[in-house]
């Protein structure tokens, strides 16, 4: 499992604590110092059939500063992936990547369900 977080984020801290309390083994990665590459993002959205919209940190200051709500409507998927991979603060976090799923944001019930599926 890959857990991508921003260590100062309170939601990321809750998610990490949840994984640890549930005895999950995971690789921990800082979204700022090891921002997912364009290729990684592209691979993940295709593998997990995820909409690109789900990757955006829409509540982030950087997202608002760049007026991405408007701008991204006119951008190609490739341009959006390049932009997202250029700055980890634009990407919704935490991210959990398992064999069967990719989750963005932390919703405990959703994460529990995915971890149960992984055990099957």
Tell me what percent of the residues of the chain surpass a pLDDT of 70.
100
The CATH architecture to which 2-119 belongs is 3-Layer(aba) Sandwich (3.40)
Helix (H) or strand (E) run with residue 81 in it: helix 77-86
pLDDT category of residue 10 using cuts at 50, 70 and 90? very high
Contact 83, 42 (CB under 8 A): no
Domain ranges of the chain: 2-119
Please write the tens of the pLDDT for every residue from 20-77: 999 999 999 999 999 999 999 999 999 999 999 999 999 999 999 999 999 999 999 9
| pTM, to two decimals | 0.94
pLDDT value, residue 15: 98
**pLDDT at residue 119 is higher than 90:** no
Query: 31: closest CA among 106, 74, 75, 86?
Result: 86
Tell me the two tokens of residue 64: 């608002």
């Amino acid at each position: 499992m890959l857990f991508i977080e921003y260590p100062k984020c309170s939601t990321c801290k809750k998610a990490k604590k949840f994984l640890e309390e549930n005895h999950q083994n995971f690789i921990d990665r800082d979204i700022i110092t090891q921002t997912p590459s364009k290729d990684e993002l592209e691979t993940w959205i295709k593998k997990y059939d995820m909409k690109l919209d789900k990757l955006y940190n829409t509540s982030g200051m950087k997202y608002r500063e760049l007026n991405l709500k408007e701008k991204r409507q006119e951008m190609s998927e490739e341009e959006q992936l390049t932009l997202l991979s250029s700055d980890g603060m634009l990407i919704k976090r935490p991210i959990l990547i398992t064999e069967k799923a990719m989750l963005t944001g932390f919703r405990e019930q959703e994460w529990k369900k995915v971890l149960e599926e992984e055990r099957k």
